[in-house]
């Protein structure tokens, strides 16, 4: 995508029919962790100032919506990114879940997929996460990260904040604001609050964290990775002149067709302005640099599993569909006895320990529902 296309990118396009590309491991070093336990504040809140930006490789795919499964076997906990991320329903775990979920409600298979809150084994731990690219502008908790570009698991509350500005309702009379633009987007002050202190359940402090954010009123540009300004004085003057024109449209609340027509005139005047023409080569340089600096968002998408992962998942599925729990049973122990029983027994499907996920895969960085 060219600088002209990005400069004129409609932020509403991000909220209609999102899809994601391919995949890898969540242990990526480019992940930005905003955990209250890393806070330097007396109240334990993790505060930082960030810019959420368009994916420079493809702005239309700036949100990577990843679907994965958290699985447990006798070798430990492991996570696999599902092909469901790419709207490909040929994921073997998903197909196994369907075989269980749509089985006879009195069968062991049905019990394997039924949630623990309903008395089932709850073995299919399906997860959803939405990832974006961010630049850290201020962070007293991890000052060495200031200026760097990272991938961040986007909390639902912050996603909603973006959506309010980038895809406003027609009734609001507002136009979409390019909050994620590199040069005239907005900064977000995030506040990550720890969960409650509960002596009876200490894990609540790291698992029940909450996110809030506040957008800057004025446009904020990205910066160089070393913290210095991205634009020189002349380039900044050009940007400021362009913003002075287009911001009149951003601030308008249109109550009727005449207001909308006036706003469209302002937008067209901005696009025809000398400032816009002069901004194009500046934007081209910035886009090229950010492509070099930013991590590849697609690295967290779906990629074909390795032979080792395929084999491990296959063993897990075979154990589950034999009516056993992979966390406590090996495939060798069920070999020759893989027929699924018609009815559940007290010992056929041991329930997974409630602490397995918490101890093996703590993830207090999101308010997403898993």
Residue 120's pLDDT band (cuts 50, 70, 90): very high
Model pLDDT for residues 70-95, shown as the tens digit of each residue: 999 999 999 999 999 999 999 999 99
Return d(Cα 76, Cα 364) in angstroms, integer: 20
- What is the average per-residue pLDDT within 190-213? 94
Residue 36, H or E segment:
none
Joined together, the tokens standing for residue 301 give 């998408």
Q: Which long-range contacts (CB under 8 A, 24 or more apart) does 278-285 make?
A: 278/238, 279/7, 279/183, 279/238, 279/239, 279/242, 280/3, 280/4, 280/7, 281/3, 282/183, 282/231, 282/235, 282/238, 282/239, 283/3, 283/6, 283/7, 283/182, 283/183, 284/2, 284/3
Start-to-end C-alpha separation, the chain: 35
pLDDT tens readout for residues 47-68: 999 999 999 999 999 999 999 9
Going by pLDDT thresholds of 50, 70 and 90, the confidence category of residue 7 is low
pTM: 0.82
Structure tokens at 200: 């009876």
Separation between Cα atoms, residue 184 and residue 180, nearest integer Å? 8
Decide if pLDDT at 345 tops 80: no
Q: Report the share of the chain in percent with pLDDT over 70.
A: 84
- Average confidence score pLDDT of the chain: 87
3-state DSSP assignment of residue 190: strand
pLDDT the model gives residue 335 = 77
Average pLDDT (332-345) is 56
Cα-based torsion angle of the residue sequence 250, 256, 262, 263 in order, rounded to the nearest 10 degrees: 20
Cα–Cα distance between 104 and 46 in angstroms, integer? 48
pLDDT at 344 over 90: no
Average pLDDT over residues 144-164: 97
Least confident of 192-206, 240-254, 262-276, 330-344: 330-344
Contacts 24+ apart (CB under 8 A), 13-17: 13/60, 14/59, 14/60, 14/62, 14/63, 14/166, 14/167, 14/180, 15/163, 15/166, 15/167
Q: Give the CA radius of gyration of the chain.
A: 24
Tokens of 198: 């509960």
Residue 99: CA count within 13 A, CB half-sphere: 15
CA distance 172 to 187: 22
Strand runs labelled E in 74-184: 76-81, 125-138, 149-153
pLDDT value at position 11? 73
Percent of the chain residues topping a pLDDT of 90? 81
Distance CA 64, CA 132 (A): 7
Alpha-carbon span 363 to 222, nearest angstrom = 28
pLDDT band at 348 (very low <50, low <70, confident <90, very high): very low
pLDDT tens digits, 289-337:
999 999 999 999 999 999 999 999 999 999 999 999 999 999 999 876 4
pLDDT value of residue 191:
97
């Amino acid at each position: 995508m060219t600088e002209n296309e990005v400069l004129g990118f409609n932020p509403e396009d991000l909220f209609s029919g999102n899809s994601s590309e391919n995949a890898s491991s969540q242990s990526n070093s480019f992940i930005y962790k905003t955990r209250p336990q890393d806070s330097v504040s007396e109240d334990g809140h993790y505060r930082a100032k960030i810019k959420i930006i368009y994916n420079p490789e493809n702005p239309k795919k700036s949100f990577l919506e990843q679907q994965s499964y958290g699985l447990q076997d006798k070798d430990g906990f492991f996570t696999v990114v599902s092909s469901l991320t790419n709207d490909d329903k040929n994921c073997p775990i998903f197909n196994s879940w369907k075989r269980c979920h749509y089985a006879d409600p009195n069968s062991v298979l049905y019990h394997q997929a039924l949630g623990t809150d309903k008395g089932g084994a709850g073995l299919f731990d399906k997860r959803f996460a939405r990832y974006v690219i961010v630049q850290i502008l201020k962070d007293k908790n991890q000052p060495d990260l200031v200026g760097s570009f990272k991938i961040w698991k986007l909390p639902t509350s912050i996603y909603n904040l973006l959506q309010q500005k980038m895809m406003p309702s027609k009734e609001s009379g507002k136009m979409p604001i390019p909050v994620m633009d590199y040069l005239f987007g907005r900064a977000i002050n995030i506040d990550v609050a720890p969960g409650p202190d509960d002596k009876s359940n200490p894990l609540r402090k790291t698992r029940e964290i909450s996110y809030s954010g506040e957008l800057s009123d004025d446009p904020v540009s990205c910066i160089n990775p070393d913290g210095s300004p991205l634009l020189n004085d002349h380039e900044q003057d050009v940007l400021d002149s362009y913003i002075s024109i287009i911001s009149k449209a951003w601030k308008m609340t249109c109550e009727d067709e005449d207001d909308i027509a006036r706003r469209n005139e302002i937008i067209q005047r901005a696009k025809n302005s000398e400032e816009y023409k002069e901004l194009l080569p500046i934007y081209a340089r910035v886009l090229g640099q950010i492509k070099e600096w930013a991590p590849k968002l697609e690295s967290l998408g779906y990629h074909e599993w390795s032979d080792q992962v395929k084999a491990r998942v296959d063993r897990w599925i075979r154990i589950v569909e034999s009516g056993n729990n992979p966390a406590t049973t090996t495939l060798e122990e069920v070999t020759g006895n893989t027929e699924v029983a018609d009815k559940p027994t007290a010992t056929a499907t041991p329930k997974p320990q409630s602490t397995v996920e918490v101890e093996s895969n703590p993830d207090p960085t999101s308010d997403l529902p898993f």
